[in-house]
Amino acid sequence: MAARVFASPNARRLAREAGLRIDDLTGTGPGGRIIGRDVRAALRAPVPTSVPAVPATAPARTGGPQISVRATVRVRRLLKLRDRLNDDGEPERISLDDLLVRAAARAHRLTRAMNPSAEPDVNMDMDVAVAIPTARGLVTPVLKGADGMPLSALAAALRDLSARADELRADETGGGSLTVIDLGSYGTEEVDAAVSPSRPAVLAVGAVHEEPVVRKGRVKPAQVMKVTLSVDPRVIEVTAAADWMRTFVGLLRDPVRVLL
């Protein structure tokens, strides 16, 4: 008789959704019990070389499951901060994208559950991939240590990557914990972007526009922006995605914290 495999209900659900056999997994929980992190580790294991890899340069749907969480953010304070930084003579002109990438990187660091491969009590550099349109489609160069560098340095790095988008080196497009796609320049207000096998989280940002909002019982116009975070639920729990979005929105509503 085969030995019974002990696994948590969450691990069995994740394995079932991912098409994995629970018997093939190695448990790291108490007494060798298979837990959620064991399933996620199996999903992150390298793909055999005989299987063609999906390019990581463009976020394309792979047929795997994904879930999305959404929020609508008032951005008046964020826009005022951008204008003030530029009026104060920053070495590099600061764009809304610069602030959004910095806030996304900071939210990723603060939400430990969004980094299932991170070791406890180890500070990791938050490397963020930024989608840039080119004549051959989207490319996603990676901005390394996006939450730690000075904002002016981040702005300069993003401009450099954008200027060289058609001739990026292979080492500039690999890695990254999160992809950020800003479709504001297209006038798109809301979109779901697809996760990729190598990056299980993608943030899609819509255009800043005016909407009526209720403030102290009165309807007033406000500048808002819709943001959507999509994740692969086989790697990232939906509660982690919701916690990340709450943190990200909090940073945008109090944008001075983005500079800390």
Instruction: Please check whether residue 152 is in contact with residue 92, taking contact to mean a CB–CB distance below 8 angstroms.
Output: yes
Q: How far is CA 128 from CA 63, 147, 260, in A?
A: 23, 9, 18
Q: How far is CA 182 from CA 28, 50, 68, 76, 191, in A?
A: 39, 35, 16, 18, 10
What CATH number does domain 67-259 carry, 3.30.559.10, 3.40.630.30, 3.40.190.80, 2.40.30.10? 3.30.559.10
pLDDT, position 2: 44
Residue 252 sits at the vertex; the CA angle it makes with 247 and 253, to the nearest 5 degrees, is 95
What b/e string do you get for 68-97 counting C-beta neighbours within 10 Å, with b at 16 or more? bbebbbbbeebeebbeebeeeebebebebb
Q: pLDDT band at residue 89, thresholds of 50, 70 and 90?
A: confident
- CATH architecture classification, 9-44: Irregular (4.10)
Helix axes 36-44, 9-18, angle to 10 degrees: 30
pLDDT, position 54: 33
Q: What are the residue ranges of helices labelled H in the chain? A: 9-18, 36-44, 76-87, 96-110, 151-163, 238-253
Instruction: Give the tens place of pLDDT for each residue, 3-45.
Output: 567 788 777 777 776 667 777 788 887 777 788 777 777 766 5
pLDDT above 80: residue 60: no
Q: What does the domain layout of the chain look like in residue ranges?
A: 9-44, 67-259
Judge if pTM exceeds 0.75. Answer: no
